[in-house]
Structure 1
Amino acid sequence: MFDSTLRPKLDPLLERLAATIARAGISANQVTWAGLAIGIAAAGAIAAQFFWLGLVLVLASRLCDGLDGPVARIAGKSDYGGFLDIVLDFAFYGLIPVGFVLADPQANAVAGAVLVLSFYVNGASFLAYAIMAERHGLEGQSHGEKSIFFTTGLAEATETLAVFVLMCVFPQWFATIAYVFAAICFYTALSRIVLAARTLR
């Protein structure tokens, strides 16, 4: 919901950092892989109940996610890079809830499973709509220049990051936060189904 609002404010800073990274000879794909590696470390820290370390690593991982696109625009974009970005983003989104489940399986397992299911459904609606939008020649620039069509919803990257931050700061409230955000993700998926019914006939 807030991605398209925040992106114009963040882009100038990200572009300056991306220029430095590109000059160092680091590719966009390397930045994407680094984001996943840091995300794995974040999930490990959370599983070990080092929640504040997990928070720092979550933020560092998402900084990489914000930088790989600008680096690609400087060094040269590729379809593979866009593909890799989406796949590893979804891997990250699954890793963090799993970290909390491993930290306290008895308290968090069911809520974590529901949250991951909601990510799965929401992600499927996002990717399926993007494929159909491509077939119908739909275009959108509200999220900046992307490899695939991005639809706006209540649960996007900014909201997911905010939820992960809340979980790291208040780990004892993981289950409650997870259930609430899962409901938002399910609603976002449902809204895309309604949008598809209106626009793809």
Structure 2
Amino acid sequence: MLDALLEKLGSPVLDRCAARIADHTRILELVSFCVGLAAVPLIARHFVWIGLAVFAAGRLIAAVAARANKSDLADIYRTVAYAALPFAFVLDAPVRALPAVFLMFGLAANGAVAVKFGRSLVGAAELLILFVLASAFPAWFGLIAYAGGVLCFVAAGVEASRRI
């Protein structure tokens, strides 16, 4: 939902960048995936804010690549990168395992709907807000992860039911 607003605000800049890299989008998609995954060890080693900044940089690179040439591979990379963040929080504190797995399952459902139907009600901006909240309030990770998982499941169900 917030993605549409952010896209509208950032379109001119993203379009200029996308025009420059149009011939190298596959490489850029892979770079964005690797940069996104580089956040995992940072978060796991208690550098949560640096990890989130690295993750956000990876998502920004992915946004530029998607503007140039959207592919299913990029959607799969995005889904895996978002699912890796709860894993990083578990590596930071193993007591978070159950809520993180629930969130990962919700992210998988949301990602599957996004890949199948081309969109989801829970977009990148909402998920980034979720992870910022989890970073800002680590003691509340369980509640935040369960709420995010439920949100992802509801969004996936609503989007899938529209298409049936």
Q: Distance in 1 between matches of 2:140 and 2:108?
A: 22
Q: Distance in 1 between matches of 2:63 and 2:103?
A: 23
Report the aligned-residue RMSD: 1.9
Amino acid at match of 1:111: P
Q: More helix by proportion, 1 or 2?
A: 2
Relative to structure 1, the CA distance from residue 127 to residue 18 in structure 2 (aligned partners, 3 Å threshold; closer, same or farther) is: closer
Q: Deviations over 1:165-185 (max 9, x none)?
A: 222233332212111111111
Within a 5 Å distance, the mapping from 1:82-97 to structure 2 comes to: 82-97=71-86
Match of 1:32 among 7, 29, 43: 29
What secondary structure, in the 3-state scheme, does the structure 1 residue paired with 2:71 have?
helix
Preserved contact between residue 118 and residue 186 of structure 1 (Cα < 8 Å): yes
1:122 positional shift:
2.0
Q: Does the alignment pair 1:98 with 2:58?
A: no
TM-score normalised by the chain length of structure 2: 0.90
The equivalent of 1:140 in structure 2 is none
- Runs of 4+, deviation exceeding 4 Å: none
Relative to structure 1, the CA distance from residue 6 to residue 166 in structure 2 (aligned partners, 3 Å threshold; closer, same or farther) is: same
Amino acid at match of 1:47: A
Q: Deviations over 1:125-171 (max 9, x none)?
A: 3334x2xxxxxxxxxxxxxxxxxx33x51x11111111122222333
Preserved contact between residue 37 and residue 55 of structure 2 (Cα < 8 Å): no
Amino acid at match of 1:181: G
Amino acid at match of 2:109: V
Q: Does the alignment pair 1:172 with 2:131?
A: no
Count of matched residue positions in the alignment of Structure 1 and Structure 2: 164
Gapped regions of structure 2 (runs ≥ 5) = none
Q: Distance in 1 between matches of 2:159 and 2:135?
A: 29
1:26 positional shift:
6.9
1:83 positional shift:
2.2
Choose between structure 1 and 2 for higher RCO, CA contacts under 8 A separated by at least 6 residues: 1
1:124 positional shift:
2.5
Within a 5 Å distance, the mapping from 1:41-190 to structure 2 comes to: 41-70=38-67, 72=68, 77=69, 82-106=71-95, 108-128=96-116, 130=117, 149-150=118-119, 152-153=120-121, 155-190=122-157
What secondary structure, in the 3-state scheme, does the structure 1 residue paired with 2:38 have?
helix
Preserved contact between residue 15 and residue 64 of structure 2 (Cα < 8 Å): yes
Amino acid at match of 2:97: A
Preserved contact between residue 43 and residue 51 of structure 2 (Cα < 8 Å): yes
